[in-house]
A and B are shown apart, each in its own frame.
Chain A
Amino acid sequence: MSATEPISEERRAEITRIQELIYELKIGQIMTRKLIAMSPEQTMAELKDVLRINRISGAPVVEGGKLAGVISIEDLIKALESGEKEARIRDKMATNVQTVYQDESVVSAVNRFAQFGYGRLPVLDRSGELVGIVTQGDVVRGLLKRMQIEYQEEEIHRYRASHIFEDIVSDQTGLILRYRVKAKDFVSGGEASSKLKRALGRLGAPPQVARRVAIATYEAEMNIIIHTDKGGEIIAEIMPERIRIVATDSGPGIPDVEQAMQPGYSTAPDWIRELGFGAGMGLSNIQACADKMTLNSTMGVGSRLEIVFQVK
């Protein structure tokens, strides 16, 4: 990826997830448990064989079950250069050792790697017993593994949602979503349509269809907010081949439905217009998005708007 290329949303979500994970994951979950430890009485020559055979670059030094120090490949190189391969590990190891506890977040290990430039940190339990070792490689592997698990879980999630119509068999399977809309609640305006759009995305509806449904539902939602006194509700009936939206309210009703359908016709009071609503295009917008639209209204009783979208 070049520096100028914008980071995609998925990528951004991944990066944020890694940042969260280093706080969520505990060191004990990612550390290496299989301990290859040295005794202080062993020689540097023995260390050389242990490092080579196990393909590791350092090891904790344990005496009487307790951590006594850490010896690394750098210490070995220095000893070999000065011809001290028979020297005891006790005399060459680092004794002022930074450790981490297994119940600490991975972030404390990451911080110590960065701060001190260590390649590995011995991991202790709260009784001070050595239980493992954590390297920078363990951190990377641990994060990747966890992200892989989460990715698979999300895939299963999406798979389940998008296959609901295949998995649940009936002569006609549909999913009903009901949203209540409060009158004059401009702050929540658009919430029902946003939620519905998200649900359609998860169910695997084509983005173009989801967008048309969202625009039409938004207009219906705003009509209930602006024009009614008691609010109303929006019911979305989702089927594999079509989506039906029914918006109902209990008044006041539309005096002349045909006139209300005309682009630009509006009854909105000035204060509504100042908010940017009441352009009188709501119903004609809905009609432009929908495959079929039916509006019934009785003065003093209420209105019922039905909008149908073909998915295939």
Chain B
Amino acid sequence: MTTVADIVDKLALQVRTGTGTLRDRPVTGGYASDLLSCVMAGARKGDVWVTLQAHPNVIAVAVLLELAAVIITEGAQPDPETLKKAEAEDVPVLTTTDNTYVVVTKLAALGVLGASS
């Protein structure tokens, strides 16, 4: 079972929130998009979500969908408000300078896959 901690390790991601629980969070799949409505429609529970959005609503979406973690790409910096909300809701926020496509290919190599429609 792949956990958020494994992904952090293999992709050398920066952990911004949720440090303590990464090992306890299984990742069952992945989803990538920057449009929140698409995420609401397409992401599944337990997915890791790859996006370059970094504002607080990202956390609201992650909580509602019970996502495993959020990976923010291209070096985008989450607002302090986003990190505060993520800490309160216990959502791991991970950041990287890689772009979304690169992150997704690395996740796929680890066996983290998406659902085809």
Contacts and interface: CB of A to CB of B under 8 A. Distances in A.
A190 B61 contact: yes
B8 to A, nearest CB: 15
A288 interface: yes
Q: Which of A211, A215, A276 has the most CB of B within 10 A?
A: A276
A197 B58 CA distance: 17
Contacts of B45: 211
Is chain B's interface secondary structure helix, strand, loop, or mixed overall?
helix
Contacts of B61: 190, 218
B37 A279 contact: yes
B41 A218 contact: no
Interface stretch (B9-17, B23-31, B93-101, B104-112): B23-31
B24 A281 contact: no
Contacts of B56: 186-187, 189
Contacts of B53: 275-276
Given A6-B23, A194-B63, A281 B35 contact: yes
A279 B35 contact: yes
A12 B24 contact: yes
A285 interface: yes
Contacts of B34: 276
Nearest to A214: B64
A222 B36 contact: yes
A281 B38 contact: yes
Size bracket, chain A contacts: 20 to 34
Contacts of A222: 36, 57
Is chain A's interface secondary structure helix, strand, loop, or mixed overall?
helix
B43 to A, nearest CB: 10
Contacts of A288: 41
Contacts of B65: 211, 215
Interface string A209-221: 0010011001100
A176 interface: no
B81 A187 contact: yes
Contacts of A279: 35-38
A178 B85 CA distance: 23
A193 interface: yes
A197 B26 contact: no
B37 A281 contact: yes
B71 to A, nearest CB: 15
Nearest to B55: A275
Contacts of B102: none
B57 to A, nearest CB: 5
Contacts of A7: 24
Interface string A1-37: 0001011110010000000000000000000000000
16 contacts: A6-B23, A6-B25, A6-B26, A7-B24, A189-B57, A191-B60, A194-B64, A211-B65, A215-B41, A218-B40, A277-B37, A279-B37, A281-B37, A282-B37, A285-B41, A288-B41
